[in-house]
Structure 1
Amino acid sequence: MKKTKTPPKARGGKLGQRAMRHRSPGSFIEFGDPEPVAAWGSYNGVLWSGYDGYYLPPIERMDLAVLANIAPYHGAVLRARVNMVMAGFQGGGGLTHSDMAAAVTNLLIFGDMGLLKVRNRLGRINRLHVLPSLYLRRTADRRTVIVQGGINDLTYGGGEVIFVAQYDPQQQVYGVPDYLHGMESAMLNVDATRFRRRYYKNGAHLGYILYSTDPDMDPQLEGLFRKKIEASKGAGNFKSMFINIPGGDKEGVKVIPIGDSGTKDEFLNIKNVSAQDQLTAHRFPPGLAGIIPSNAGGLGDPLKAREAYYRDEVIPLRRLIMEGVNAAPDIGGLGRVTFSLTFDDDAQIAQ
């Protein structure tokens, strides 16, 4: 008769037998959820929406609006540019100073602006009304639609809206902002700040690795650990945890911090480089943006930088607005929209 071999006994008596009985393949749990990198603020081109009956803007306009409110240098420079343009506004078109400021804000943030011709009962134009570019859409026959969101959209004929846009060589339906190439840097700057805030709120660490090699941790206890960890989300996790493994090894469970407060990161470099990128996207002088110089040479004469920026950026934008609005033949009774087109005129107004 053939004898069968009996398996060898586990070494170490009962403790060794228990270790073999409960030993399982290694496992891990991720502390936190993955962070996807979405195509936020990406250029999608102009697409026709047959259901809505208008073209979709090449860039999600809500992204542009939000970015202007969360990116520090980008938002500050946008408002400074609006103020610079408005410093030379002399009136016309039945527009108040606040009306024109709203129109210029639309033009700089979204790349275009729309002015509705408001008519009286006799059909004569008595004023211009600024349309919100955030909700402005255009159709194939050049009609203008204001999206209402769940309510019937407002539609105006092609000749009822004055449309001024910054030119986009890829399409001529909508305008695009002239800072488009700096959006990634602006978002990187915001993400770096948010990461640092979450880092400190979490206790100046990125998380923990809960490392266990104790053979006395049975599957039931391991499952309990999983539930506790997976149910713990938010800032300040794992501040306190009680573990009791009868007869366990004192080195069997370890908590290993990841990236403590002494870990070197690139926060300052990211902030500085992305800030410079935002100024470059707007062609804005650092000396006018509140940048603190990092060298003894400083940032040059701010008055000369301001004059150069006026001549190269502000005055051409004023001319674009004037030509776009005054080209409408039926608003002559409201007076032509005028801006000062020399830096000297603005200096005299400021005095």
Structure 2
Amino acid sequence: MSKRARRMSRAEARDARSGAIEASNDNRGIQAFSFGDPEPVLDRATMLEMFECWHNHRWYEPPVPFHGLARAFRVSPHHSSAILLKRNLLAASLDPTPWLSRKTFMAAVMDYLVFGNAFFEIRRNRLGGVLDIGHSLAKYTRRGVKPGTFWWTPSQRDEVEYPEGRIAAIMAPDINQEIYGLPEYLSALQSALLNESATLFRRRYYLNGSHAGYILYATGQFADGDVDKMKEALKNAKGPGNFRNLLLHAPDGKQDGLKLLPIAEAGAKDEFLGIKNTTRDDVLAAHRVPPQLLGIVPANAGGFGDPAKALDGFFELEIEPLQAVFLDLNDQLGVEAVRFRERVRAEAA
């Protein structure tokens, strides 16, 4: 028997508004605070499972907004470069057929790698045979509520329903639903966004000119107006034309009357490099791309090894499985629309 929810009392509501932070003493001076009990991360990591592919009685919406994935494509140079590398290798290995051109295949591969979905528009002759294969942008293509139907939704007013059997879909499997595919890099998307945030923060740091980064600690006796002059000089050190020199003259000042205390300048620089390197490694791990194939400069003297051997391993472990994914289109259409050339390994060349 399920328990009914009860209304909180005024005391419980007052305590709830204060959150998990509670004061540990009643002193009116310095107060110490303690946080509540630790909460497991998995409680929030499962938020994606609560999303549903809701529909408007015509088509289903994807569990992750495709518009957001499209904007996130260029969020990090390593993220976009890894996707473009896979697309170029797949397109170079394609053997074009009378039904599928290299241009159409490249566009479909791009959609599959970014959105986890690739939609092919099948144009048939009067006898029902495959005449030509086009591409329908995954960003605007939606699976219809009626089985076998798809919709073209570039906006909320210009939607068009494709004829039944017009669209063939290739999806990256998801563990929570079977309506849409999802890309493999979602686990590293937060790292890619953090990489962008670190870059934007550093760029704003240089653009706004606020490079003081120190405390001027003064304890000596100064003449009337000297402190105001120092404030004005420090204020003018910001903005365009920063990194200016500053002269302070205190004729009757003591030896330690003025102290310049830097504020975590070196630490901030090290933190920036650490964030960039760590997030880069996360993105490369999600895409499973060797760093030497993306032009990354090695930090050690030994380097990353032979790029040709790395390409052989990457092609066997990553590109060939992706080729097998797109061969499923042949099974859906009943013709050999997708065909790949056999690659000669660098060791055998």
Larger radius of gyration: 1
Q: Aligned runs of 1:259-270 on 2, under 5 Å? A: 264-265=268-269, 266-270=271-275
Say which SS state the counterpart of residue 95 (structure 1) adopts.
coil
| TM superposition score normalised by structure 2 | 0.67
Q: Distance in 2 between matches of 1:113 and 1:281?
A: 20
Q: Distance in 1 between matches of 2:212 and 2:153?
A: 43
Select the structure with the greater relative contact order (CA < 8 A; seq sep ≥ 6). 1
1:262–1:113 CA distance, 2 compared to 1 (3 A): same
Say which SS state the counterpart of residue 117 (structure 1) adopts.
strand
1:329–1:308 CA distance, 2 compared to 1 (3 A): same
Q: Among residues 64, 71, 78, which one is paired with 1:73 in the alignment?
A: 78
1:46–1:139 CA distance, 2 compared to 1 (3 A): farther
Q: Distance in 2 between matches of 1:137 and 1:73?
A: 29
Q: Among residues 155, 164, 167, which one is paired with 2:170 in the alignment?
A: 164
Q: Among residues 316, 332, 336, which one is paired with 1:328 in the alignment?
A: 332
1:48–1:292 CA distance, 2 compared to 1 (3 A): closer
Matched letter for residue 296 of structure 2: I
1:145–1:345 CA distance, 2 compared to 1 (3 A): farther
Matched letter for residue 103 of structure 2: S
Q: Distance in 2 between matches of 1:306 and 1:345?
A: 9
Q: Is the contact made by 1:93 and 1:128 (CA closer than 8 Å) also made in structure 2?
A: no
Which blocks of at least 5 consecutive residues in structure 1 are unaligned?
1-38, 210-234, 240-255
Count of matched residue positions in the alignment of Structure 1 and Structure 2: 262
Q: Is the contact made by 1:204 and 1:261 (CA closer than 8 Å) also made in structure 2?
A: no
Task: Give the match for residue 149 of structure 2.
Answer: 143
- Residues 1:96 and 2:97 aligned together: no
Deviation per residue, 1:140-176 (Å, 9 max, x gap) = 3242111120433121245221111111111111111
Matched letter for residue 338 of structure 2: V
Post-superposition shift, 1:71? 1.2
Please tell me the root mean square deviation across aligned C-alpha atoms, in Å.
Answer: 3.2
Matched letter for residue 170 of structure 2: V
Post-superposition shift, 1:315? 0.5
Task: Give the match for residue 114 of structure 2.
Answer: 109
Q: Aligned runs of 1:248-327 on 2, under 5 Å? A: 264-265=268-269, 266-322=271-327, 324-327=328-331
1:46–1:326 CA distance, 2 compared to 1 (3 A): farther
Say which SS state the counterpart of residue 299 (structure 2) adopts.
coil
Matched letter for residue 337 of structure 1: V
1:305–1:206 CA distance, 2 compared to 1 (3 A): farther
Q: Distance in 1 between matches of 2:156 and 2:347?
A: 48
Q: Distance in 2 between matches of 1:274 and 1:160?
A: 41
Which blocks of at least 5 consecutive residues in structure 2 are unaligned?
1-43, 216-237, 243-259
Percent of aligned pairs sharing the same letter:
32
Q: Is the contact made by 1:144 and 1:155 (CA closer than 8 Å) also made in structure 2?
A: yes
| TM superposition score normalised by structure 1 | 0.66
